[in-house]
Chains A and B, each alone.
Chain A
Amino acid sequence: MHAFRRLLLTELRNRRNTTLITLGATLFLNALIMIVTYQADLYPDQLGFVMTLNIVVLVAMLLIPFLHGFTAWREEWKNQSIYQLLTLPVLRTHLLFAKYISILLESVLILILTFASLWLQYELSDGQLYRAEPLTTFDWSKALFVSKLVLSAIGIISLCSLSILLGKWIRKLSLLVTFLSLASGMLVSAVIYATLPSVFSLFVLVVAFIALSYYLLDKKVDVS
C-alpha cells in the first residue's frame, strides 16, 4: 500500500503545476461567466448565451485531463523515467491506476469548481438560469446516470492509455497508431453502447481497456 500511495503522490506531484494552472483558468473563466450572468440577469433573453458559455468552458477545461491521458505515459518515455517505472517490484495495475486516479482527480476538481460556479450563477440570476431542484434531490435514475458518467470517464482515460501503449509497442509511426487505436476504440465503444445501452456494457468496455493496457504494459512494451 505504501508503494501505491507513493506512486499516486508522485503522479499528483508530476502534474501539480498544470493542474493548478488549469484550475486557475477554470476559476477565472467562471468568474467572467458570473459577471456576464449578472449583466444578463438584466436582459433575460441573453441567458441562453450564458448556458452555451458554461458548456464551452467546461468542455475546454476537461480537454486538459483528457490530453493528460496521453501525456501521462508519453512523458515517462520522454523523461526516461520509464526505466525506473518498469523495474519497480509493483503490479503493473498499480502503475495504471495511479495514473487513472490522478487524471480523474483533476477532472473532479474542475467539475467541483464548475458546479460551484453554476450554483452562484443560479443565485445571481434569481433561479432563472437553471432549475436547482434536479441537483438537490436524489433518485436512483440519477445515481445510474452519474455512475454511467464515471464509467465513461474511466473508459476514456483507459482507452487513452491503451492507445499510447499500443503505439509504444508497435514503435513505427507510434503517433499514427495511437490516433488510429483511439479512433477505433471510440467507434467500437459507441457501437457496443448503442446496441446494448446499459451500465454493464460500459463496465465490460472499461474492464477490457484496462486488461489490454495491463497486458501491453506487462508483456509487450519496453524502453526501446
Chain B
Amino acid sequence: MIKVEHAVKAFGRKKVLDNLSFVAEEGQIVGLLGTNGAGKSTMLRTIAGLLRLDQGEITIDGKQPNLTTRAMINFLPDVDVWYSWMKLSDAMKYMRDIYWDWDDSKASHLLDFFELKPSALICEASKGTRAKMKLLLALSRQAKYLLLDEPFSGIDPFARQQIAQAIVEDFVEEGQSILITTHEVSEVEIMLDEVLFIHEGKLLLNGNVEKLKQASNQSLLEIVKGAYELARV
C-alpha cells in the first residue's frame, strides 16, 4: 500500500503539492489526473524517491522510501533516461543485471507485441517507438508498484487504447498496483479502479471510478471536467 499523508512540496514560492493525502491500495490501478502543472509528475517522483517532500510523509508498505522500497517500485518517468549510445538490447541487459525481478519471457513477448527491434538505438527512435520501448522496459519487471508518468505520450490514438487494454489484461501481474498519470482520460477510463484528480497541488476528487460514474451518471471525463470547473469558480 502506498500512503501519502499531508504532502507539501514547493519549488521556490510555488507550492506544487499542497497538503495532499491519499492511499493507493494493493492490486489497484489508480489514475492520477490533472491539468498541466497540477503536480502529478511531482507526486510520482516523490513516491519514487527522486524528490523530497518539504512536509508530510510517504510510506510504501509502511516503509519510508529507501533501498527496499526502490526494489518494489518501477518508475517510468515522462523523460528519456537512457544514454544516447544505448540500443534497446543494451537497456534490456542493463535491466536484467540490475533487477532480480526482470522477466525475459515477458520482455520477448512485449517485443513481439510492440513490434520492436532490440538492435534499434533508443535515442534515434520516433517518440511513439520510444514510448513503447519505455513501456517494454517497465512492464518486463514484476515490481509490486508500477508508477507510470504519461506512458501514452507520443503513442498514436489508435494504439493507445489497445496498449492500455493489453497492459491490464496481458502484462500486469496479480496484486501489482499501478499509479498512472495521463491526460488521456477517456482512454484509460476502462482500466482505472480509483481516480485522483489534482489541481494546483490540491486533491479535488478521489474515489472509485465505477461508483463515481454510477452516482453521477456521467463519464469519467465529464466528472473530472465538472470538478475542474468547480475549482476554477
Residue of B nearest to A1 (CB): B97
Contact of B98 among A6, A13, A80, A224 (CB under 8 A): A6
Query: Would A223 and B98 count as touching, CB distance under 8 A?
Result: no
Q: Is the CB of B75 within 8 A of A87?
A: yes
Interface check A48, CB cutoff 8 A: no
In the assembled complex, which residues on chain A have CB atoms less than 8 Å from the CB atom of B99? 89
Contacts of A223 in B (CB 8 A): 45, 50-51
Given the known interface contacts A86-B49, A86-B50, the answer about A81 and B98 at a Cβ–Cβ threshold of 8 Å is: no
Q: Determine if B11 is an interface residue (Cβ-Cβ < 8 Å).
A: yes
Most chain A CB atoms below 10 A, which of B11, B68, B81: B81
A223 to B46 alpha-carbon distance, docked (Å) = 10
**Given A83-B77, A223-B45, A89-B67 contact (CB < 8 Å):** yes
> Quick one: given A223-B45, A224-B51, are A80 and B80 in contact (CB under 8 Å)?
yes
Whole-angstrom distance between the alpha carbons of A80 and B79 in the complex?
A: 7
Contact A3 B70 (CB under 8 A): no
Q: How far is the CB of A178 from chain B (nearest CB, A)?
A: 21
Contact, CB under 8 Å: A10 / B83: yes
CB distance from B170 to the nearest CB of A (A): 25
A87 touching B97 in the complex, CB below 8 Å, given contacts A10-B83, A81-B83, A222-B52 = no
Chain B neighbourhood of A14, CB < 8 A: 83, 85
Q: Are A84 and B70 in contact (CB under 8 A)?
A: no
Please count the residue pairs between chain A and chain B whose beta carbons lie under 8 angstroms apart in the complex: 60
Contacts of A81 in B (CB 8 A): 81-83
B14-51 to A contact mask, C-beta < 8 Å, 1/0: 00000000000000000000000000000001001111
What residues on B are CB-neighbors of A141 within 8 Å? none
| Chain A 1-27 per-residue mask, 1 if CB under 8 angstroms from chain B, else 0 | 011011100100110000000000000
Q: Does A90 contact B (CB under 8 A)?
A: yes
Shortest Cβ distance from A220 into B: residue: B52
| Cβ contacts A to B, 25 pairs, < 8 Å | A2-B98, A6-B93, A6-B94, A13-B83, A13-B85, A14-B83, A14-B85, A79-B81, A80-B80, A80-B81, A81-B82, A81-B83, A83-B50, A83-B77, A83-B79, A87-B49, A88-B70, A88-B98, A90-B67, A90-B98, A91-B67, A223-B45, A223-B50, A223-B51, A224-B11
